[in-house]
């Protein structure tokens, strides 16, 4: 299973994969962080499809997902998921973050995609403690991969050194 989980330090908009996951906000407007980078790199098609989703659904709820084409990114789709804002851990944050990863993986299978790349959801302006978020991300991914063979590669893309080191250490512990 762990061979299917990989880690890189870099820019998720430069990754070649089938699905790129966007750490979105509920309005699906790419205003800051990785979401802004994905909207800019993907181009107008992502913005247009997010506007259409907002008109039809009103946006995206925390822990849920919506899908757009990937535009200019080297991927087929962008799965937008809204991570929880950290409020001390008493507002179902861990459950909602777990759902972000699980729902994105389920949707990748539904889309018949075998490779998916995740950013570090909720660890930026949403303030989720990075180590706790990484543990949840890996747990959700491992739980999913145990039951599903369709996904061949889950790539965790850490833009910053701190998140990279946290994931690297957790993955090394699991591989012992």
Separate counts of helices (H) and strands (E) for the chain = 5, 6
pLDDT tens digits, one per residue of 16-28: 999 999 999 999 9
Residue 175 has pLDDT above 90, yes or no: no
Give me 4's structure tokens: 């299917």
Give me 136's structure tokens: 């949840």
Determine the topology of domain 2-174 in CATH. 3.40.220
Closest CA relative to residue 85, chosen from 21, 20, 155, 26: 26
Residue 1 has pLDDT above 70, yes or no: no
The answer to whether 108 and 151 are in contact (CB under 8 A) is: yes
pLDDT tens digits, one per residue of 57-102: 999 999 999 999 999 999 999 999 999 999 999 999 999 999 999 9
For tokens 């591989």, what's the residue?
175
Residue 69 φ then ψ, to 5°: -65, 165
pLDDT tens digits, one per residue of 54-64: 999 999 999 99
Helix (H), strand (E) at residue 115: strand 115-118
Give the C-alpha distances (Å, rounded to integers) separating 66 from 73, 80, 147, 148: 17, 5, 23, 21
Q: How far apart are CA 97 and CA 24, in angstroms?
A: 12
Indicate the pTM of the whole model: 0.96
Domain boundaries, the chain: 2-174
The answer to whether 163 and 120 are in contact (CB under 8 A) is: yes
């Amino acid at each position: 299973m762990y061979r299917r989980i990989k880690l890189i330090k870099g820019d998720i908009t430069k990754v070649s994969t089938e699905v790129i996951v966007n750490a979105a906000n509920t309005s699906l407007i790419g205003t800051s962080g990785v979401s802004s980078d994905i909207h800019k790199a993907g181009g107008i098609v992502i913005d247009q499809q997010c506007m259409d989703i907002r008109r039809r659904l009103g946006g995206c709820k925390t822990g849920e997902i919506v899908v757009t084409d990937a535009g200019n990114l080297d991927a087929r789709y962008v799965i937008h998921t809204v991570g929880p804002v950290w409020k001390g851990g008493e507002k179902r944050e861990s459950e909602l973050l777990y759902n972000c990863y699980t729902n994105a993986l389920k949707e990748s299978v539904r889309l018949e995609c075998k490779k998916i790349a995740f950013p570090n959801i909720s660890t930026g302006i949403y303030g989720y403690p990075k180590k706790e978020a990484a543990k949840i991300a890996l747990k959700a991914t491992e739980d999913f991969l145990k039951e599903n063979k369709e996904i061949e590669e889950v790539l965790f893309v850490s833009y910053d050194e701190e998140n990279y080191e946290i994931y690297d250490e957790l993955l090394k512990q699991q591989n012992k």
